[in-house]
Structure 1
Amino acid sequence: MWKWLHPYANPETSYQLAGRLQPWFTGLSAVLLLIGLVWALAFAPADYQQGDSFRIFYIHVPAAILSMGLYTSMAIIAFTGLVWQLKLADASTAALAPIGAVFTAIALFTGAAWGKPMWGTWWIWDARLTSELILLFLYLGVIALHNAFEDKALAGKAAGILAIVGVVNVPIIHYSVEWWNTLHQGATVTKFGRPAMAPEMYWPFLLCLFGFAFMTAAIVCMRFRTEVLARNAMRPWVRALALQASESQEAK
């Protein structure tokens, strides 16, 4: 049933696939973000309690969702790499970790900027904020382990184990507002059933969410291709690519 996936265990095949997908992801993200952000920032109605300050929601919430989604994806990839010894798993987790760390930092920064006018403080050791901060440290730990050993296989295994162990923090982040009494508001767009938002606010949010998701996919493809090249630098196909690029530069 999974035979169609087998060719993509080959680094060259996966490198070429990522190269084909990257322009599509880039184009989709540009269109969705342009429409979504203009709609959200200029045309969506102001919140009846928070006024225009709520508009940071259109960046904060997608960043928070992607920070958790990327870590979960990284943990799943790391698990498959450890169980089935997939060599490309290490390259994938190495590509995902810095992007996830950036989105986590964006979620923390925008959350603090949103919390100041709403809560009267930039930071409080709230369950949601604290667990999100721990997520950032987990990302940084995975990045550090990937660069801590000269042996890439050993580095990938150590980083993969941390990613798998740390995934327990993701449901803690999501359910923290239900398990503990926190300042952070409850689920608005991710709860089961109908979202607690007016359609004219919800639709631009969806456009921004998918726009950021496709942008993330484009960056992941770019970083994945870089990781594959770095880990296969001595392979003939990589040398052929380098020679082709050199000839192309000389022709210009």
Structure 2
Amino acid sequence: MWQWFHRLGSPRWFYQASGKWLPWLTAATVLLLVVGIAWGLGFAPRDAKQGNSFRIIYIHVPASFLALAGYYVMAFSGAVGLIWKMKLADMVMKSAAPIGAVLTFIALFTGAIWGKPTWGTYWVWDARITSMLVLFFLYLGVIALQYSYSGQDAANKASAVLSLVGMVNIPIIYKSVDWWYTLHQPATIKLTEAPSMHPDMFQPLLVMILGFYCFYALVLILNTRAEILYRERRTRWVQEMVSPVEGTQP
């Protein structure tokens, strides 16, 4: 098990192994997202109170889920990099930050669009929305730290520390609608309870959530592979892979 763990931390092994995963992951991502979008936008019934405006949930909720899950990935990778000094973990942490920032922005943007017909305003400073905005700034902080140091090791350590400190915000986001009075509706999906949505509305949402998870994994792998090539560009295995075979004509 320990040997497998260390092999997983090898940039070369990850690059070679992940190339085999990409076609399957790409196919699953496209299939799930196409089915989920068509099902949710075209065939799910209208909401009794919100009408068709509720359909933005099929983008808003999956983006929110992955914004939070992506922070776990970033913080866990930062912790592994700090403790075990694994180069791949630092690369994953850096690669996860911009993806998480984009997903958080999408969650905030779609929430604002949904809020206008529902609450009568695009933005309110309630606990859920404010804590999500803090999450967005945490992602931006990690990105900024990656480019604020001349040395990569110092940038990795600072980014990892900020990622771990920012973990305190995640339970606040999850429990904000329970701890404080907010305009934001309670969680639609809970592990301990049945979903509050009708099955005809919930099933396409579940497909979209799975599609977003596959999409996140796909983009994270692609970003990490690009980061591996950049950081390992002076190693022999990368140079042999990207350079023309000796003796061949262009």
Tell me the TM-score normalized by structure 1. 0.95
**2:159 aligns to what?**
159
Q: How does 1:53-202 map to 2 (within 5 A)?
A: 53-202=53-202
Show CA shifts across 1:23-64 (max 9, x none): 221110100111111000000001111110000000000000
The yes-or-no answer on 1:217 pairing with 2:217 is: yes
Q: How many residues align?
A: 250
Deviation at 1:203, TM superposition (A): 0.8
SS for the counterpart of 1:148 is: coil
Show CA shifts across 1:162-204 (max 9, x none): 0000011011011000000000000111352211111111110
Measure the CA separation in 2 of the matches of 1:119 and 1:243.
58
**1:16 aligns to what?**
16
Deviation at 1:8, TM superposition (A): 2.0
Q: How has the CA–CA distance of structure 1 residues 201 and 230 changed in structure 2, closer, same or farther, with 3 Å as cutoff?
A: same
Deviation at 1:246, TM superposition (A): 10
**2:229 aligns to what?**
229
Alpha carbons 1:62, 1:212 under 8 Å: kept: yes
Alpha carbons 2:47, 2:54 under 8 Å: kept: yes
> Amino acid of the residue matched to residue 233 of structure 2?
A
Unaligned runs of 5+ in 1: none
Deviation at 1:75, TM superposition (A): 0.7
Runs of 4+ in 1 over 2 A off after TM superposition: 1-6, 244-248
Measure the CA separation in 1 of the matches of 2:196 and 2:246.
55
Show CA shifts across 1:212-246 (max 9, x none): 11111111111000111111111001101111489
Deviation at 1:5, TM superposition (A): 2.5
Alpha carbons 2:11, 2:88 under 8 Å: kept: yes
Measure the CA separation in 1 of the matches of 2:245 and 2:202.
45
Deviation at 1:18, TM superposition (A): 2.1
Q: How has the CA–CA distance of structure 1 residues 114 and 234 changed in structure 2, closer, same or farther, with 3 Å as cutoff?
A: same
Show CA shifts across 1:60-79 (max 9, x none): 00000100000011111111
Measure the CA separation in 2 of the matches of 1:224 and 1:170.
24
Measure the CA separation in 1 of the matches of 2:7 and 2:168.
32
> Amino acid of the residue matched to residue 127 of structure 2?
A
**2:242 aligns to what?**
242
Show CA shifts across 1:130-179 (max 9, x none): 00000000000000001111211110110000000001101101100000
Tell me the TM-score normalized by structure 2. 0.96
Pick which of 62-71 and 145-154 moved more.
Answer: 145-154
Alpha carbons 2:9, 2:89 under 8 Å: kept: no
Deviation at 1:89, TM superposition (A): 1.3
Pick which of 108-117 and 141-150 moved more.
Answer: 141-150
Measure the CA separation in 2 of the matches of 1:71 and 1:86.
19
> Amino acid of the residue matched to residue 84 of structure 1?
W
Measure the CA separation in 2 of the matches of 1:139 and 1:213.
18
Measure the CA separation in 2 of the matches of 1:11 and 1:73.
17
Deviation at 1:247, TM superposition (A): 9.3
The yes-or-no answer on 1:6 pairing with 2:23 is: no
Measure the CA separation in 1 of the matches of 2:133 and 2:244.
44
Q: How has the CA–CA distance of structure 1 residues 245 and 230 changed in structure 2, closer, same or farther, with 3 Å as cutoff?
A: farther
What do you get for the CA RMSD once the two structures are aligned? Answer: 1.6
> Amino acid of the residue matched to residue 233 of structure 1?
R
Measure the CA separation in 1 of the matches of 2:21 and 2:151.
30
Measure the CA separation in 1 of the matches of 2:62 and 2:83.
31
Pick which of 234-243 and 9-18 moved more.
Answer: 9-18
Alpha carbons 1:33, 1:212 under 8 Å: kept: yes
Measure the CA separation in 2 of the matches of 1:129 and 1:72.
19
